[in-house]
Amino acid sequence: MGIIVALIALSILILVHELGHYLAAKAVGIKVLEFALFMGPKLFSFKKGETEYSLRLIPMGGFCKMEGEGESSDDSRAFSNQPVWKRFIVIAAGPFLNILLAFVLASIVLSVSGFFTNRITEFTNDSPVKTAGAEIGDRLISYGGRRILDPASDIDIFMYAEDGSPKELVYFDVSENKKVTKHIAPAKTETRFRLGFTAAEENGVITNIIAIVEPDSPLNKAGIKRGDKIIKLDDTYVSNRDDIVKYLNETRTDKTAPVSITVERNGKELTFENIVPFADYQYTLGINLEYKKGNIFEVIGASVKYCMSNIRNVLISLKWLFTGVVSANELSGPVGIIGTVGTVVETQKTVKDVLLNLAYISSFISINLGVMNLIPFPALDGSILLILIIEKIRGKPIQQEKIGIISFIGFILLIGVLIFTLFNDIPRWF
């Protein structure tokens, strides 16, 4: 059931993208030949005016086909015969509608569930922010030269790439009514021993059922799979994630020693020997921030910051990919997205929780889809926008056939990336 919902959700996000192209093309007078729901062979269609509306076999996304798109045409209303500004609007409308949808979904979720603010409510032990002179009630402004927009995601992603070196911290001192700039080194959390998995949640309890197996983790290497239920570590029975954490980090005398893990799979018990937990720690600022429900204006403000934060974080993640901070093995494609959304649906027990979590992750995926499409990579919208800018600068059009060749090469490269992500996602989810 979760996979079906995930397919529908992802298809809607892709369809919204194509709807942006369609609506913009209609608005500026470009001839639209076909607007299709899903891909593959045509199941049925009908024609209204000059546009054919079709339903296709493969339940994934859709497309908007315009006259003169990727080829020359004598039609005066063809895409290729329009001024640059019209074509720019039509191409940019797809990513824009994805980002707009992300904002709408985020607004719905944050209005119901609430959101984090930049206001400090608590310090943990040895907090570097407290050591710098901040007090409860002060508000964070920036860290490491980057403004903190959405604290829920920004601080996590800033800490992900930390190396422990001092960074610039800017906060607003409420008592002094002024900005304060200090340099602080983030603190390390206590070292914890892990097996490398994310557990499923049921009725508010984090269970001992494996929802995600991390790549290159001890469990992944041993052959333990998603859906397995960990029932015993060595001779100790466990019934939830907390039991597992307690055994690995408190019960054992030698925490670096290998463990045997017994799992339940399809009604059978399987035991895996000599699995070595790995030591893990994270960097932290040692603070807790205010979580609140706001009025409509505060929700809109938080939603705008959420979108801006995620747009920036997509770009940061791409930079990390090229600089080696993030391994290519962590890339995920459609299978990984469907698996993630499916897990969200399957692990929530109430309809309200399912809808809220589905809306939240759909918002995240939609904004990623919009931003990624703006990258000037062949076959993506960003490459067409770049070509249009070049065309405007040089003062004469580029042949549509050449653009078509560039897009085709880009499409082949994207298929290569898709195949690569399949090798990452399939072991992770199946």
Which CATH number do you get for residue 234? 2.30.42.10
- Asked, for residue 347, whether it belongs to a domain, the answer is no
Residue range of the domain that includes 223: 192-279
Domain identity same for 64 and 54 = yes
Structure token pair of residue 234: 């060595």
How many independent structural domains does the chain possess? Answer: 3
- Asked, for residue 346, whether it belongs to a domain, the answer is no
Domain identity same for 252 and 369 = no
User: Has residue 210 got a pLDDT over 80?
Assistant: yes
> What pLDDT, on the 0 to 100 scale, is given for residue 138?
97
Query: How many alpha carbons fall within 13 Å on the CB side of residue 36?
Result: 21
From the list 152, 233, 158, 250, the residue with the least C-alpha distance to 197 is 233
Tens digit of each residue's pLDDT (9 = 90 or more) over 136-154: 999 999 999 999 999 988 9
> What pLDDT, on the 0 to 100 scale, is given for residue 160?
83
pLDDT band per the 50, 70, 90 thresholds, residue 402: confident
User: Has residue 421 got a pLDDT over 80?
Assistant: no
User: Has residue 202 got a pLDDT over 80?
Assistant: no
Structure token pair of residue 262: 């017994």
**Is residue 140 within 8 Å of 120, Cβ to Cβ?**
yes
User: Has residue 75 got a pLDDT over 70?
Assistant: yes
Domain identity same for 141 and 285 = yes
Domain identity same for 81 and 20 = yes
Domain identity same for 151 and 286 = yes
Secondary structure element (H or E) that encloses residue 8, with its range: helix 2-28
Task: Tell me the residue type at 225.
Answer: K
**Per-chain mean pLDDT for the chain:** 87
Return d(Cα 34, Cα 18) in angstroms, integer. 11
> What pLDDT, on the 0 to 100 scale, is given for residue 430?
55
Domain identity same for 148 and 173 = yes
- Asked, for residue 376, whether it belongs to a domain, the answer is yes
Domain identity same for 235 and 95 = no
Domain identity same for 52 and 99 = yes
- Asked, for residue 78, whether it belongs to a domain, the answer is yes
- The mean pLDDT of 335-349, rounded to a whole number, is 59
Return d(Cα 411, Cα 342) in angstroms, integer. 27
Return d(Cα 252, Cα 147) in angstroms, integer. 43
Residue % of the chain over a pLDDT of 90: 53
Domain identity same for 200 and 127 = no
pLDDT band per the 50, 70, 90 thresholds, residue 233: very high
